[in-house]
Structure 1
Amino acid sequence: MSDDATADAARRAWRAMSDLVLDADRRTAVTEALGLSFARTRALRRLVDQPLTLRELAARLGADPPYATLIVDDLQERGLVQRTPHPDDRRAKLVQLTAAGRAAAVRAREILDQPPPALRALPPDEVASLLRVLERLQQLAADGGD
């Protein structure tokens, strides 16, 4: 395959993966199930593994700190997160999930982890092949793309 054909095939593959992964129906399902915007759901999911400072959360969301503050304020009003003093920096606060916030994040993950019907319809050997390719792509990305 020529370099142009390979580049075109890569673009088409990327577009197909993006269309599947960025499925608006799945985002809608999470939004409706939790009664939260998808941005707020993303914030909850970023806090599952550990508390973060507001600045760290903003960076992980790809948002500016004032917008992250609005998200956290709303999540705190809903009882899904709380702010606690940072153990090493008196000027900073950590944002962490409450029990209700953790339950909402788990519910979001359950919804988002459900493969679309088209993927479930593939034969097992094709699913296994797809998984191998995607895991290889993840490894290449982790290694810097080489």
Structure 2
Amino acid sequence: MPTLPPDEPVRAAEAWRLMFDFLMRSAPQRLEAQQKHELTPNDSRALFLLDADGKPIGALAREWGCDPSTATWLVDRLERSGLADRVPSPSDRRVKLVRATEKGIATKNDLLAAYHRPPPEIENLPRGDLDALIRICRKLQA
């Protein structure tokens, strides 16, 4: 395996730091969208992992990286807001599935539309820079 030039890890760290700092500076735009729906960042993150089919609390806890009691607390918050509900599992009556309600799915779509609105710093980039950024981001997606 060929060795990287000595400055490559440093350059990669700089690129990541700059991207991360920009995402952090643009966080208020995302927070504003969440607050419009009276959601916290954790509520929003939890909602995005729910679907119309539903998942057991234990599976959600693993996906959310928390313990089941915290997952239950998050689900309770989403349920009180009408964004999620608990339904019996069709395959096991003892298990309750948590799913996004119609309101929850509509809220996810609204949040996603807000998250996808580019910040002014992106909108104001010259065409060539935007093309380069798109090309680079597509490489990162692959």
Report the TM-score when normalising by structure 1.
Answer: 0.83
Equivalent residues of 2:57, 2:68 under 8 A apart: yes
Aligned length in residues = 138
Tell me by how many angstroms 1:48 deviates: 4.1
SS at structure 1 position matched to 2:135? helix
1:41 aligns with 2:34: no
Cα distance change of structure 1 residues 95 and 134 upon mapping to structure 2, 3 Å threshold: same
Identity of aligned residues (%): 33
Q: Partners of 2:90 and 2:39 in 1: how far apart?
A: 30
Over 3 Å off, 4+ runs: none
1:50-89 aligned within 5 A: 50-89=53-92
| Equivalent-residue separation in structure 1 for 2:62 and 2:131 (angstroms) | 34
Question: Tell me, what secondary structure is at the counterpart of 2:39?
Answer: coil
| 1:73 positional shift | 0.7
Partner Cα separation in structure 1 for residue 77 and residue 9 of structure 2: 44
Distance 1:84 1:32, change over 3 A: same
How far apart are residue 50 of structure 1 and its match? 4.5
**Structure 1 residue 52 displacement after superposition:** 2.2
Cα 1:13/1:30, change in 2 over 3 Å: same
Instruction: Indicate which of 102, 107, 117 corresponds to 1:104.
Output: 107
Secondary structure in 2 matching 1:95: strand
Of stretches 101-110 and 42-51 in structure 1, the one that deviates more from structure 2 is 42-51
Q: 1:72·1:81 contact (CA, 8 Å) conserved in 2?
A: yes
Q: Which structure 1 residue ranges, 5 or more long, are not aligned?
A: 140-146
CA contact (8 A) 1:83 1:95 kept: yes
Local SS of the residue matching 1:118: helix
Q: Say whether residues 1:91 and 2:94 are aligned partners.
A: yes
1:17 is the counterpart of 2:15: no
Superposed CA RMSD in Å reads 1.9
Displacement of 1:57 in angstroms is: 2.1
Normalising by structure 2, what TM-score? 0.85
Rounded to whole Å, the distance in 2 between the matches of 1:108 and 1:84 is 25
Report the Cα distance in structure 2 between the residues aligned to 1:56 and 1:26, rounded to whole angstroms. 30
Q: Is the aligned partner of 1:117 residue 2:116? A: no
- Whether the 8 Å contact between 1:30 and 1:108 is mirrored in structure 2 is yes
User: In structure 1, what is the Cα distance between the partners aligned to 2:52 and 2:139?
Assistant: 24
